[in-house]
């Protein structure tokens, strides 16, 4: 790819980018969230058209005007958010768009056979007749890979493929990648995780703010150098903090059970405690009850059994507002869905949970002057970059939106702060800011519950780590003394290995 | 002065304005295709509206229910609900006020307000049914309000036939004079055009709409729920209650509109062969009015003039009155697909930029 | 009349009343399975009824008893064309699909009567047609006592409708087109990444939708009413929409629901025939399909079974 430039309204996502990938190598594309990696790959895959620049494959210039063209050129993409139709079977998803036909109708038997053959050849175990909705995330990813192979892809783009996997599943994926290269495929790996690059890649291209910073062979570099190039300054990724001084129990969860969206129990008698002055991290693979746990704690989902105590007061199945007023703040995992009303002004968003308090609410009429004053103070204090307090939340960057939410939640002066995936999709600067605030809360003697899918984050920020698996805490360890291997094993249910076959 | 220009170049004004012009042009094309003279037709439409004080008064009469139903649709919309059911709520308002207007015997200062209130409640409850089904059972309100429209139609006819229509007739007996909200002296001023207090109520309703949504705690919740129910739930608001409330208030607006038609205009209710249509026009009014109260009033004025003036087109240029339905449909279409309008607007906007 | 005859008549009438609903509900299914909400079924039926009646009227002299077929074919074409603005608005311009549908319903109601008045010199309805569809009697089968009258004696449109149910099932669940159509309605981006043209699929689906709904409208004009007026369709498009939802967006389900609403209508006429109106007011019987729909929606059908991307415009370059 030569001189690729892509502009979106108000931003240059790719600025004169050059990327050279050799046949048969695993090439990493490294950059922070928002650096322009995905945009570049979407151009290569034909989903976007570049404003400038050209793409050459085997020395020949090509115009990739649609994913169809990309497929024909042998480019396949394993998307971060799987492009799978939930209600279809594995086979249907794989052949979609290139269905083998028998007369007018789909030759489903032949399709199943072809899928089985491919699956054997590359060691990608799948159940061809299972519905996507019923199989594990790991298998869904293998279906995504098979989709590209079915279409005869020679160049495979993996977009942040490890985000949803356990350490063990990541190991398996790395093996799969090596297999693919052995079969003559070329792989581009998009990631912001340095360890993965060191483990599997041959070469790495680093981009920052839409520009290529450097392109080096992995054997000639080290993680610290890569990190510095990615962020633009020396970073340690270590969180500065004093030893914790845990005091009395603030939150106590006793044997709580709750239904998930699929009608089966998502929480199976979960129990743990969080003390004042400590950060308890919850580690686990996505879909093991984290979301449901947060919802039950905050009153957004009914618990079917057990008890939740906040400062000794029973808050089980109370209304979200009662729980919030009892001293619990919550940084939601999906800030666009839960955290903000995007079409409200920043000012209105800052009182989303407190507008009814007497200081803003006079006999049913809102005192907008007081609300604006409150918002101005918070925005100043937490350094939220917004043109005005009357700007709609939608117009702010993700980092600033998250800062605003944290400002609002911390300002409620809660006894317990629940932070769910607080740094998802943010750049390193914003991540550091948020981690600092969480530690600050702890040092003020508050209890903090951190729930994150990023294992590094849980290890770095927490004082104690509880591992959740299938709706239960399978173990609690000290953050300083544990290892990734130990956590990984617990995350996949201890002795029970996940990954192969379906979960059920 | 600059601010005035800024308001008029804003997209929220330009798109509806362009949609209205495109709609009128579509109507003109349809008239040309039918062998009519569109200029003559539109001229006679305007002449009809402004030609006599009676007709002008009647135009105001026509505008009034459109304000109510427009507000009804717009209010629900602000809470994220699509109220296709203003029609049914309007009908329920009519039948309730008819019932109170005929069966009770009270002094005027109680009877008339009570009859209006009955209409408001009936419309509100009818709307709240859809709100409740959405909140408690997750049933899409578009479907339920459509169904409730037809139920209202047959239900109202049943009540009329069973209790208020004399045998062999097609309309109810007259309501008591004490329930009438006609303004006698004003009607006389306009050559006995049927003017009534409902018009004032409609304007007050628009003010109420604004104050509730943008000045009160309830309005904060309603708007939050409309824009993002998940965040509202997270913030401790009762989403379901707000959904029901919004549909109740929306239904109330439509219900008052229906009540005013009976108490101020007809003083009786006829057995209906089909939908009165004000509720559906309310959708157009709300859309053109950008779901804000001032916009709704302005849009209602426009549509009131169009629908009342349509008779003038028939008289002056021989154009079937249905032509105006084609115009209104086109206007809704162009507002919905504002992308199309922007294609037409592009040259105009470009010129403006070049001029600066 | 013995009970056998009554039952036989009831089934017969049910099929007559259901036919138009089946057509329109199937139409709605194609559109909604592709992710485009279609509350314009009513308008599309009106256009079908209007075109069917008018074309049949003018074809009568030339084609005689073949005229209804000409009218029916014209209605199919008119329906597909009339659906085009809905496709343009909701697919290309990403308009609110409900609003666009409302606009089309308005347009159909206004335009059809406007044109009728122009063509028939100011009359609000078409002249009564001298040639409409006659009933088919399937040889031998129609002679079976009771069952023959119930099932094998009917308008050709009814047979076409049932055939289309089977065909739609095959197309939707057995062919590449059907797989792609459903993929587009469930996860358009996934479809896009494997090279399926989402917009073209949706355009096709919406136009099929218009054609089928128009067949439903034409069926009414060319079998039961023998003319077109402003209340020929009168809400059946909305009942068809209800049937589609009630039938969980499945061809057989939609047919079942349409037959169910057909029964309600057939009973209505039965009650009138037997003079039972003094016990059951007709108003309540008229309300029945609508009330049942709401009850069924509230009780049985959850929010889950609709196509996942229903009502959501698809943006190729969305981030």
The CATH number assigned to the domain holding A435 equals 3.40.50.300
CB contact under 8 Å between A355 and B220, yes or no, is yes
Q: Of the given ranges (B79-83, B160-164, C275-279), which has the lowest mean pLDDT?
A: C275-279
Q: Which residue of C has its CA nearest to B134?
A: C298
Tell me which residue has tokens 């009395």: A248
pLDDT for C228: 95
pLDDT over threshold 90, residue A375:
yes
Do A193 and A287 belong together in one domain? Answer: no
Do A405 and A345 belong together in one domain? Answer: yes
pLDDT over threshold 90, residue C123:
no
Asked if A277 contacts A271 with a C-beta cutoff of 8 angstroms, the reply is no
Q: Which ipTM did the prediction report?
A: 0.86
Do A269 and A300 belong together in one domain? Answer: yes
Neighbours of chain B (3+ CB pairs under 8 A): A, C
Q: In 3-state terms, what secondary structure has residue B122?
A: helix
Do A225 and A164 belong together in one domain? Answer: yes
Q: What is the mean pLDDT of residues A366-379?
A: 95
| Confidence band for C300, pLDDT divided at 50, 70 and 90 | low
Q: What is the mean pLDDT of residues C284-307?
A: 71
CB contact under 8 Å between B234 and A356, yes or no, is no
The two three-digit tokens of residue B320, written as one number = 């079937």
Cβ contacts of A419 within 8 Å, gap of 6 or more: A331, A434, A438, A448, A449, A450, A451, A452
CB contact under 8 Å between C106 and B161, yes or no, is no
Domain range for A400 is: 341-413
pLDDT for A170: 84
pLDDT over threshold 70, residue B1:
no
Q: Which CATH number fits domain C3-299: 1.10.10, 3.40.1350, 1.10.3470, 1.20.1420?
A: 1.10.3470
Which residues of chain C neighbour B148 with C-beta distances below 8 Å? 290, 294
Asked if C192 contacts C316 with a C-beta cutoff of 8 angstroms, the reply is yes
Which residues of chain B neighbour C105 with C-beta distances below 8 Å? 329
Report pLDDT digits (tens) over A430-456: 888 899 999 999 999 999 999 998 888
Do A366 and A312 belong together in one domain? Answer: no
- Residue of A85, A88, A111 for testing the chain C interface, max C β-carbons within 10 Å: A85
pLDDT over threshold 70, residue A252:
yes
pLDDT over threshold 70, residue C302:
no
CB contact under 8 Å between B143 and C111, yes or no, is no
pLDDT for A338: 92
For A339, which of B231, B237, B238 is closest by C-beta distance?
B231
Residue A333 lies in a domain: no
For C114, which of B30, B82, B339 is closest by C-beta distance?
B30
Is C85 exposed, middle or buried, given 0-12, 13-18 or 19+ CB atoms closer than 10 A? buried
| Confidence band for A3, pLDDT divided at 50, 70 and 90 | confident
CB contact under 8 Å between A85 and C176, yes or no, is no
Q: Which residue of B has its CA nearest to A339?
A: B231
Going by the DSSP 8-state scheme, the letter that residue B216 receives in this structure is: B
Cβ contacts of B56 within 8 Å, gap of 6 or more: B49, B50, B190, B193
Which residues of chain C neighbour A93 with C-beta distances below 8 Å? 190
Q: How far is C95 from chain B (nearest CA, A)?
A: 5
Q: How far is A7 from chain C (nearest CA, A)?
A: 12
Residue A103 lies in a domain: yes
| Among A452, A434, A428, A164, CA closest to A280 | A452
- Residues 161-190 in B contacting C (C-alpha not used; CB under 8 Å): 161-162
**C199 vs A: CB within 8 A:** no
For C175, which of A71, A105, A151 is closest by C-beta distance?
A105
Q: What is the mean pLDDT of residues A399-424?
A: 92
Q: How far is C146 from chain B (nearest CA, A)?
A: 34
Q: Which of A210, A231, A252 is the last residue of a domain?
A: A231
Q: What is the mean pLDDT of residues A351-366?
A: 94
Q: How far is B57 from chain C (nearest CA, A)?
A: 26
Phi/psi of residue C82, each to 5°? -65, -25
**B29 vs C: CB within 8 A:** no
For chain C, what's the residue count? 319
Asked if A270 contacts A305 with a C-beta cutoff of 8 angstroms, the reply is no
pLDDT for A420: 93
Going by the DSSP 8-state scheme, the letter that residue C318 receives in this structure is: -
Cα distance between residue C201 and residue C224, in whole Å: 34
CB contact under 8 Å between B215 and A366, yes or no, is yes
Do A173 and A318 belong together in one domain? Answer: no
Compute CA distances A46 → A73, A77, C195, C201, whole Å. 11, 11, 10, 19
CA A146 to chain centre: 23
Q: Which of A175, A210, A231 is the last residue of a domain?
A: A231
For A332, which of B215, B234, B236 is closest by C-beta distance?
B234
Do A180 and A255 belong together in one domain? Answer: no
Report pLDDT digits (tens) over B2-13: 444 444 456 677
C97-125 b/e (C-beta count within 10 Å ≥ 16 → b): bbbbbbbbbbbbbbbbbbbbbbbbeeeeb
pLDDT for A50: 87
Do A365 and A242 belong together in one domain? Answer: no
Most confident of A180-194, A298-312, C138-152: A298-312
pLDDT for B297: 96
Cα distance between residue C168 and residue C115, in whole Å: 33
Query: Of all residues in chain B, what percent are helix, strand and coil, respectively (each to 5)?
Result: 80, 0, 20
Tell me which residue has tokens 């979407």: A42
For chain B, what's the residue count? 356
Asked if C277 contacts C271 with a C-beta cutoff of 8 angstroms, the reply is yes
What percentage of chain A exceeds 70 in pLDDT?
97
Neighbours of chain C (3+ CB pairs under 8 A): A, B
pLDDT over threshold 50, residue A500:
no
What are the counts of helices (DSSP H) followed by strands (DSSP E) for chain C?
A: 12, 2
Which residues of chain C neighbour A151 with C-beta distances below 8 Å? 194
**B144 vs C: CB within 8 A:** yes
What are the counts of helices (DSSP H) followed by strands (DSSP E) for chain B?
A: 16, 0
pLDDT for B350: 62
Q: Of the given ranges (A305-314, B35-44, B201-210, B347-356), which has the lowest mean pLDDT?
A: B347-356
Asked if A408 contacts A348 with a C-beta cutoff of 8 angstroms, the reply is no
CB contact under 8 Å between A86 and C308, yes or no, is yes
For A71, which of C187, C189, C195 is closest by C-beta distance?
C195
pLDDT over threshold 80, residue A484:
yes
Q: Which of A204, A231, A258 is the last residue of a domain?
A: A231
Which residues of chain B neighbour A332 with C-beta distances below 8 Å? 234
For A366, which of B217, B233, B235 is closest by C-beta distance?
B217
For B236, which of A324, A339, A364 is closest by C-beta distance?
A324
Q: Of the given ranges (A79-93, A212-226, A235-249, A342-356), which has the lowest mean pLDDT?
A: A235-249
Do A320 and A438 belong together in one domain? Answer: yes
What percentage of chain C exceeds 90 in pLDDT?
56
Neighbours of chain A (3+ CB pairs under 8 A): B, C
Report pLDDT digits (tens) over B164-197: 988 888 899 999 999 999 888 888 888 888 999 9
The two three-digit tokens of residue B22, written as one number = 């495109």
Half-sphere exposure (Cβ direction) of B273: Cα atoms closer than 13 Å: 4
Which residues of chain B neighbour A390 with C-beta distances below 8 Å? none
Q: How many domains, in total, are found in chain A?
A: 3
B303-312 b/e (C-beta count within 10 Å ≥ 16 → b): bbbbbbbbbb
Residue A332 lies in a domain: no
Q: Of the given ranges (B91-105, B197-211, C7-21, C174-188), which has the lowest mean pLDDT?
A: C7-21
Report pLDDT digits (tens) over C152-186: 888 999 999 999 999 999 999 999 999 999 999 99
CA B41 to chain centre: 25
pLDDT over threshold 70, residue A357:
yes
For C187, which of A8, A45, A85 is closest by C-beta distance?
A85
CB contact under 8 Å between C187 and A77, yes or no, is no
The two three-digit tokens of residue C312, written as one number = 């959501």
Do A245 and A353 belong together in one domain? Answer: no
End-to-end CA distance of chain A: 44
pLDDT for A453: 86
Q: Which residue of A has its CA nearest to C198?
A: A97
Cα distance between residue A15 and residue A36, in whole Å: 9
| Confidence band for C1, pLDDT divided at 50, 70 and 90 | low
pLDDT over threshold 80, residue A234:
no
- Give the DSSP H/E element, type plus range, for residue A99: none
Whole-structure pTM value = 0.86
Half-sphere exposure (Cβ direction) of B317: Cα atoms closer than 13 Å: 26
**B203 vs C: CB within 8 A:** no
Q: What is the mean pLDDT of residues A10-24?
A: 84
| Confidence band for B25, pLDDT divided at 50, 70 and 90 | very high
| Confidence band for B236, pLDDT divided at 50, 70 and 90 | very high
For C107, which of B143, B283, B330 is closest by C-beta distance?
B330
CB contact under 8 Å between C297 and B274, yes or no, is no
Sheet holding A211-217, edge to edge: A75-78, A155-159, A186-191, A26-30, A203-208, A211-217
Which residues of chain A neighbour C193 with C-beta distances below 8 Å? 45, 47, 67, 77, 79, 83
Strands (E) across C126-243 are located at 136-137, 153-154
CB contact under 8 Å between C179 and A99, yes or no, is yes
| Among C134, C173, C181, CA closest to C33 | C181
Strands (E) across A137-185 are located at 155-159
DSSP letter string, B258-299: HHHIIIIIISS-BPPSS--SHHHHHHHHHHHTTTSHHHHHHH
pLDDT for C145: 83
Q: How far is C249 from chain B (nearest CA, A)?
A: 15
- Give the DSSP H/E element, type plus range, for residue A30: strand A26-30
Q: In 3-state terms, what secondary structure has residue A292?
A: helix
Residue A460 lies in a domain: yes
Asked if B84 contacts B146 with a C-beta cutoff of 8 angstroms, the reply is yes
- Residues 293-312 in C contacting A (C-alpha not used; CB under 8 Å): 308
Q: Which residue of A has its CA nearest to B225?
A: A341
Cβ contacts of B259 within 8 Å, gap of 6 or more: B93, B94, B96, B97, B115, B116, B118, B119, B120, B123, B198
For A352, which of B215, B216, B235 is closest by C-beta distance?
B235
Cα distance between residue A201 and residue A196, in whole Å: 8
């Amino acid at each position: 790819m030569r001189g690729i430039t892509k502009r979106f309204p108000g931003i240059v996502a790719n600025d004169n980018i050059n990327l050279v990938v050799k046949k048969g190598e695993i090439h990493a594309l490294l950059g922070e969230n928002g650096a322009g990696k995905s945009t570049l790959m979407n151009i290569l895959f034909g989903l976007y058209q570049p404003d400038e620049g050209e793409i050459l494959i085997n020395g020949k210039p090509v115009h990739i005007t649609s994913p169809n063209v990309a497929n024909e050129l042998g480019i396949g993409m394993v998307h971060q958010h799987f492009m799978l139709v939930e209600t279809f079977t594995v086979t249907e998803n794989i052949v979609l768009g290139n269905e083998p036909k028998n007369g007018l109708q789909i030759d489903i038997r032949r399709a199943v056979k072809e899928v089985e053959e491919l699956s054997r050849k590359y060691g990608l175990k799948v159940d061809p007749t299972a519905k996507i909705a019923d199989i594990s995330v790991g298998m869904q990813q293998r279906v995504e890979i098979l989709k590209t192979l079915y279409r005869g892809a020679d160049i495979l783009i993996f977009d942040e493929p490890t985000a949803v996997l356990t350490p063990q599943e990541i190991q398996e994926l790395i093996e799969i990648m090596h297999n693919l290269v052995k079969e003559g495929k070329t792989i581009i790996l998009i990631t912001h995780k340095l360890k993965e690059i060191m483990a599997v890649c041959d070469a790495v291209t680093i981009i920052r703010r839409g520009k290529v910073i450097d392109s080096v062979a992995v054997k000639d570099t080290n993680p610290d150098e890569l990190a510095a190039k990615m962020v633009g300054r020396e970073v340690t990724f270590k969180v500065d903090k004093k030893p914790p001084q845990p005091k009395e129990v603030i939150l106590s969860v006793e044997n709580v059970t709750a239904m998930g969206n699929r009608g089966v129990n998502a929480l199976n008698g979960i129990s743990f405690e969080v003390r004042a002055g400590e950060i308890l991290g919850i580690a686990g693979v996505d879909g093991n009850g984290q979301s449901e746990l947060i919802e039950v704690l905050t009153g957004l989902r009914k618990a079917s059994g057990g008890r939740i105590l906040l400062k000794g007061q029973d808050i089980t199945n109370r209304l979200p507002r009662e729980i919030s007023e009892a001293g619990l703040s919550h940084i939601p995992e999906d800030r666009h869905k839960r955290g903000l009303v995007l079409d409200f002004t920043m000012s209105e968003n800052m009182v989303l949970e407190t507008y009814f308090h007497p200081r803003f609410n006079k006999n049913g009429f809102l005192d907008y002057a007081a609300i604006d004053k409150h918002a101005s103070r918070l925005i100043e204090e937490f350094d939220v970059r917004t043109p005005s307090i009357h700007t709609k939340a939608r117009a702010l960057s993700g980092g600033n939106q998250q800062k605003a939410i944290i400002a609002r939640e911390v300002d409620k002066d809660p006894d317990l702060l629940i932070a769910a995936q607080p740094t998802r999709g943010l750049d390193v600067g914003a991540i550091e800011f948020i981690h600092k605030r969480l530690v600050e809360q702890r040092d003020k003697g508050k209890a903090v519950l951190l729930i994150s899918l990023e294992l590094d984050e849980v290890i770095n920020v927490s004082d104690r780590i509880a591992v959740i698996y299938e709706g239960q805490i399978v173990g609690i360890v000290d953050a300083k003394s544990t290892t990734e291997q130990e956590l990984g094993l617990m995350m996949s249910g201890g002795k029970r290995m996940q990954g192969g076959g379906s979960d059920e | 002065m600059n601010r005035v220009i800024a308001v008029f170049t804003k997209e929220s004004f330009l798109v509806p304005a362009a949609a209205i012009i495109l709609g009128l042009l579509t109507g003109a094309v349809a008239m040309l295709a039918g062998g009519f003279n569109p200029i003559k037709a539109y001229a006679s439409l305007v002449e009809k509206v402004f030609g006599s004080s009676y007709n002008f008064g009647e135009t105001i009469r026509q505008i009034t229910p459109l304000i109510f139903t427009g507000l009804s649709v717009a209010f629900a919309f602000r809470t994220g609900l699509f109220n296709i059911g203003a029609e049914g709520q309007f009908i329920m308002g009519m039948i309730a006020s008819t019932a109170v207007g005929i069966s009770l015997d009270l002094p005027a200062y109680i009877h008339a307000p009570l009859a209006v209130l009955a209409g408001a409640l009936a419309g509100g409850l009818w709307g709240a049914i859809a709100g409740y089904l959405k909140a408690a059972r997750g049933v899409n309100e578009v479907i339920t309000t459509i169904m409730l429209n037809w139920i209202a139609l047959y239900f109202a006819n049943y009540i009329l036939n069973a209790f208020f229509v004399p045998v062999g007739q097609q309309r109810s007996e007259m309501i008591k004079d004490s329930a009438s909200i006609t303004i006698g002296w004003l009607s006389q001023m306009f050559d006995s055009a049927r003017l009534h207090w409902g018009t004032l109520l409609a304007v007050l309703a628009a003010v109420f709409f604004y104050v509730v949504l943008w000045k009160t705690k309830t309005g904060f919740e309603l708007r939050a729920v409309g824009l993002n129910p998940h965040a509202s739930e997270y913030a401790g608001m009762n989403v379901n209650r707000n959904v029901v409330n919004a549909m109740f208030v929306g239904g109330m607006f439509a219900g008052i509109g229906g009540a005013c038609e009976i108490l101020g205009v007809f003083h009786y209710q006829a057995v209906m062969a089909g939908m009165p249509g004000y509720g559906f026009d309310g959708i157009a009014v709300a859309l053109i009015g950008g779901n804000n109260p001032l916009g709704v009033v302005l849009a209602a004025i426009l549509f009131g003039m169009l629908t009342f003036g349509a008779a003038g087109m028939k008289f002056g240029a021989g154009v079937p009155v249905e032509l105006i339905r084609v115009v209104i449909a086109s206007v809704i279409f162009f507002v919905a697909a504002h992308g199309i309008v922007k294609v037409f607007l592009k040259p105009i906007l470009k010129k403006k930029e070049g001029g600066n | 009349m013995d009970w056998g005859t009554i039952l036989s008549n009831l089934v017969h009438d049910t099929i007559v009343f259901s036919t138009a609903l089946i057509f329109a509900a199937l139409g709605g299914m194609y559109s909604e399975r592709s992710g485009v909400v279609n509350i314009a079924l009513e308008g599309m039926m009106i256009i079908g009824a209007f075109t069917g009646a008018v074309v049949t009227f003018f074809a009568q002299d030339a084609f005689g008893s073949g005229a209804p077929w000409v009218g029916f074919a014209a209605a199919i074409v008119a329906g597909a064309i009339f659906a085009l603005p809905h496709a343009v608005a909701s697919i290309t311009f990403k308009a609110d699909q409900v609003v666009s549908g409302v606009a089309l319903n308005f347009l159909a109601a206004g335009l059809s009567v406007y044109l009728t008045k122009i063509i028939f010199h100011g009359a609000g309805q078409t002249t009564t047609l001298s040639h409409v569809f006659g009933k088919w009697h399937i040889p031998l089968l129609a002679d079976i006592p009771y069952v023959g009258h119930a099932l094998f004696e009917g308008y050709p449109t009814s047979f076409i409708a049932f055939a289309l149910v089977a065909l739609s099932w095959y197309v939707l669940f057995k062919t590449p087109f059907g797989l792609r159509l459903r993929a587009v309605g469930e996860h358009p981006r996934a479809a896009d990444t494997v090279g399926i043209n989402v917009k073209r699929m949706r355009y096709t689906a919406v136009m099929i939708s218009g054609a089928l709904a128009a067949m439903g409208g034409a069926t009414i004009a060319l079998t039961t009413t023998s003319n077109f007026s402003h209340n020929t369709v009168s809400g059946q498009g909305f009942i068809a929409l209800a049937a589609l939802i009630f039938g969980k967006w499945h061809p057989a389900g939609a047919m079942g629901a349409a037959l169910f609403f057909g029964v309600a209508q057939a009973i209505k006429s039965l009650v009138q025939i037997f003079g039972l109106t003094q016990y059951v007011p007709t108003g309540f019987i008229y309300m029945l399909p609508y009330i049942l729909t709401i009850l069924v929606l509230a009780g049985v059908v959850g929010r889950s079974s609709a196509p996942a991307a229903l009502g959501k415009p698809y943006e190729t370059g969305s981030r």
